[in-house]
């Protein structure tokens, strides 16, 4: 079921509803798309040197032609710059350029740029609007949608943040052609996640179509991004602030965050850690008698098919270190570790874990 043309998905949040617009080769149309949104003339484009060198001029030209007076702000490329120091740098640039309450921030980049820009938008002058222009697969299927914004603290990743929804998500799938293969694979971990948590048919599609998807066949690419965004939009629309259902999006992430912390964010990309986490959490589900062993094997095989790690390497991390690191997770309640476990392909449930779950993981 390849898709083509332009697609619009709405995140339904009452007055704060917004569209996700998917298309290929659509970056030059961004400026006109912003015109009806009623922003002040003065806006800011936030990016990093890597992405800006590839797509910055196209976006800047489009915004300028549409009548916007654009302040360009670049921060260095890397997760280590998603912090309060660089947030303050951005605030300074916004103040110097006299951006106002009615101004808008445009985030051009992957999840790092999207998260820090969203956080600046949430807090600058008590909140201004922003637009997400995601350029990695992970950002197009996950981080640009749903309004989780934030930065890292030396004591924990994404520990400082706010829920702040964008006014528009503008995803041009053609930019994924320049994405390094390892980054594409990392984004596929989140795509696989959607299949496991909510859509068995989608999971089967990912199994069947791994060849063309890995070759970035346009129709297949559009389909996986569309379906992922539909699932994320549905979940966020039902539970914006993660009081319940939204936690399903954290499948694989409880263990992933611990693995990232224990390997100092150097060994694995976020998506790779999520793949490890999904396989490990599926294994816990099998040990608890919640999931058929064959389904665990299918999840591992699908991760491997997209060149992702399919489990924790032997001896890399001890059970005790893993447990200690997980106690820092935002989902910990009364010092008990909670995780989303699959109970079949397409269905998950939140469970409280005990130390024995991690034995010989």
Q: What does the block give as tokens for 331? A: 């989902």
Shortest Cβ 320–ligand GLY spacing (Å): 27
Active-site residue, 79 included: no
Q: Among the options 74, 198, 226, 246, which is catalytic?
A: 246
- Mark 170-199 with x for binding to ligand GLY (rule: CB under 6 A) and - for no binding: ------------------------------
Shortest Cβ 187–ligand NAD spacing (Å): 7
Shortest Cβ 147–ligand NAD spacing (Å): 8
Question: Which of ligand NAD, ligand GLY, none sits in contact with 115, Cβ below 5 to 8 A by type?
Answer: ligand NAD
Stretch of 41-49, 104-112, 174-182, 245-253 contacting ligand GLY, by CB under 6 A: 245-253
Q: Among the options 82, 227, 253, 283, which is catalytic?
A: 253
What would the DSSP string read from start to end of 138-162? HIIIIITSS-EEEEEETTEEEEEEE
Of residues 170, 217, 165, 195, the one with CA closest to residue 11 = 165
> β-strand 42-47 against 69-74: which pairing, if any?
parallel
> β-strand 347-352 against 156-163: which pairing, if any?
unpaired
Q: What does the block give as tokens for 302? A: 């699908």
Question: Which of ligand NAD, ligand GLY, none sits in contact with 246, Cβ below 5 to 8 A by type?
Answer: ligand GLY
Q: Which is nearer to ligand GLY, 47 or 165 (CB)?
A: 165
Shortest Cβ 304–ligand NAD spacing (Å): 20
Does 260 contact ligand GLY by CB under 6 A? no
Select from 21, 198, 223, 246 the one that contacts ligand GLY (CB under 6 A).
246
Active-site residue, 208 included: no
Active-site residue, 153 included: no
- Find all residues with CB under 8 Å of 323, minimum gap 6, and list them: 337, 355, 358
Q: Which residues make up the interface to ligand NAD (CB under 6 A)?
A: 48, 50-51, 54, 77, 79, 82, 109-113, 115, 135-136, 138-139, 142-143, 146, 148, 158, 175, 178-179, 183, 186, 270
Q: Coil, strand, or helix at residue 74?
A: strand
Q: Is 122:162 a contact under the CB 8 Å cutoff? A: yes
Q: Among the options 232, 283, 296, 300, which is catalytic?
A: 232
Question: Which of ligand GLY, ligand NAD, none sits in contact with 179, Cβ below 5 to 8 A by type?
Answer: ligand NAD
Q: Which is nearer to ligand GLY, 146 or 346 (CB)?
A: 146
Question: Nearest 5°: phi and psi at 218?
Answer: -55, -45
Query: Which own/partner contact pairs does 174-179 have at CB distance under 8 Å and 24+ positions apart?
Result: 174/24, 174/25, 174/26, 174/27, 175/27, 175/54, 175/55, 175/135, 176/135, 176/136, 176/137, 176/140, 176/216, 176/221, 177/216, 178/54, 179/135, 179/136, 179/137
The residues that are catalytic are 126, 148, 190, 232, 242, 246, 250, 253, 257, 270
């Amino acid at each position: 079921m390849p898709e083509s043309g332009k697609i619009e998905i709405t995140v339904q949040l009452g007055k704060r509803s917004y569209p996700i617009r998917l298309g290929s080769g659509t970056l030059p149309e961004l400026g006109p798309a912003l015109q009806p949104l009623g922003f002040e003339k003065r806006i800011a484009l936030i990016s990093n040197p890597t992405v800006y060198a590839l797509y910055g001029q196209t976006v800047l030209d489009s915004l300028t032609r549409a009548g916007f007076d654009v302040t360009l702000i670049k921060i260095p490329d890397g997760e280590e710059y998603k912090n309060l120091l660089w947030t303050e740098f951005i605030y300074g640039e916004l103040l110097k350029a006299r951006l106002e309450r009615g101004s808008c921030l445009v985030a051009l980049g992957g999840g790092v740029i999207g998260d820090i820009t969203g956080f600046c938008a949430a807090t600058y002058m008590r909140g201004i609007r922003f637009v997400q222009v995601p350029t990695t697969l992970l950002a197009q299927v996950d981080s640009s949608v749903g309004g989780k914004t934030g930065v890292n603290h030396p004591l924990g990743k994404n520990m400082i943040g706010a829920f702040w929804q964008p006014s528009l998500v503008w995803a041009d799938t053609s930019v994924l052609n320049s994405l390094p293969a390892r980054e594409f694979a990392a984004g596929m971990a989140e795509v696989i996640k959607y299949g496991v948590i909510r859509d068995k048919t989608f999971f089967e599609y990912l199994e069947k179509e791994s060849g063309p998807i890995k070759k970035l066949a346009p129709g297949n690419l559009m389909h996986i991004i569309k379906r992922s965004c539909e699932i994320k939009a549905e979940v966020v629309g039902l539970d914006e602030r993660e009081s319940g259902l939204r936690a399903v999006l954290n499948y694989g992430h409880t263990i992933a965050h611990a693995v990232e912390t224990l390997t100092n964010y150097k060994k694995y990309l976020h998506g790779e850690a999520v793949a490890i986490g999904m396989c490990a959490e599926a294994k816990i589900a099998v040990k608890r008698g919640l999931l058929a062993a064959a389904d665990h094997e299918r999840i591992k095989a699908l991760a491997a098919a997209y060149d992702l790690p399919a489990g924790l390497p032997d001896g890399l991390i001890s059970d005790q270190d893993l447990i200690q690191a997980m106690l820092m997770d935002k989902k910990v309640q009364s010092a008990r570790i909670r995780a989303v476990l699959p109970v079949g392909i397409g269905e998950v449930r939140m469970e409280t874990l005990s130390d024995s779950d991690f034995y010989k993981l």
